[in-house]
Structure formats: C-alpha cells, structure tokens
Amino acid sequence: MARSQPRLNLLLTYGGWREHPAVLQLPRLLTPMGIRAMQADTGDEAARIIGQEPVHIAVVDLEIPIDTNASLGRPPRTGGPRLLQLLRRLETPPPTIVVKPRHGSAREHARSLSQSLREGAFAVLDRPLELESLLDVLRRVLHRHYRDGWPTTGQPGI
C-alpha cells in the first residue's frame, strides 16, 4: 500500500476542540503516519461515520452533543454513552478511548471510570485532554490490538 494511503481510521469525537488547540493538531500529526483522523462534532455525525467507514480506533468524548439542536435553545443531550453502545455492537468493536469530564468527588470519578470500563473502554482520559496522554494511549492500542502494526483487513484485533 502506498505510504500516502491511510492504513488506520481513527474516529475522534471530542467536544472540547476549540478549548484545546493542541488537540486540533492531532490529525496533522497522524496523517503522515497513515492514520486517517475522522473528526465528529456531534453524536449523530459520529454515528454516520461509523455506518460508512471502518473504525479501527475510536476516541469518544462522553459529553459530545447528540446533535446540533443545543444551539436552538434546547439543553444539550450528551451522545457519548450512545456512541459507546453503538461501537460495542459492531461485529468487531474497535478499541475505544473514553474522554470524560473531571468530576468533583472521588466517588463520582470512580463511578464514571467503572461505567466506561464496563462499556468496553480500552482507556479513560480526563478532560481537558492532553495531547501527549492521547498519543501514548494510541501507541498502546497499536501495540496491544494491532501488534505494533496496522490493521490488515480493516478489522481490529487481526
């Protein structure tokens, strides 16, 4: 396969893109390595991507809005939990990195972490998302799920 062709599809659903410009650099950093970063700003957009493209790794922000109706005066509904369920139901679920808000108490933090792991998360990171932490987790996913290589058939774990 040509070096310029994507070898791995990464779904990025991160609600805090504008707050953390360093994370915006992620697609530019990964593209030369053959990673296609598909950014979704809403849960509905992420669901469309999941239905149209193979997803090898997913980054799911628990607080991503389901749709753009929040801008119409409605309270925002979060789409992260729904996306985790959608990914988990795929024939071959991709490794998933969950991004969650920081919680005030240790109990809330533990409950959120436990729930994410029950939903099949490979790793859970707190917001604000640090670029270096995400890159480290992506490296671990490649090592563990893809044996330090690239997917050969478009399916995780092969």
CATH number of the domain that 53 lies in? 3.40.50.2300
What torsion do the CA atoms of 32, 141, 87, 123 make, to the nearest 10 degrees?
-120
Residue 16 forms part of a structural domain: yes
**Dihedrals phi, psi of 149, to nearest 5 degrees:** -130, -150
Return averaged pLDDT per consecutive 10 residues of the chain, 158 residues in all: 68 75 81 92 93 95 79 66 92 93 76 80 87 92 86 51
Residue 154 forms part of a structural domain: no
Q: What is the pLDDT of residue 72?
A: 56
Range of the domain at 46: 8-146
Residue 114 forms part of a structural domain: yes
Residue 50 forms part of a structural domain: yes
- At 61, is the secondary structure helix, strand, or coil? strand
Residue 156 forms part of a structural domain: no
Residue 77 has what DSSP assignment? P
In order of 56, 74, 114, 125, 147, the CA distances from 135 in angstroms are: 15, 35, 23, 12, 16
The pTM score is: 0.83
Residue 82 forms part of a structural domain: yes
Residue 3 forms part of a structural domain: no
Q: Of all helices (H) and strands (E), which one includes residue 38?
A: strand 35-40
Q: What is the pLDDT of residue 112?
A: 75
State how far Cα 59 lies from the chain centre: 1
Q: Of all helices (H) and strands (E), which one includes residue 141?
A: helix 131-146
What is the tally of structural domains in the chain? 1
- At 57, is the secondary structure helix, strand, or coil? strand
Residue 152 forms part of a structural domain: no
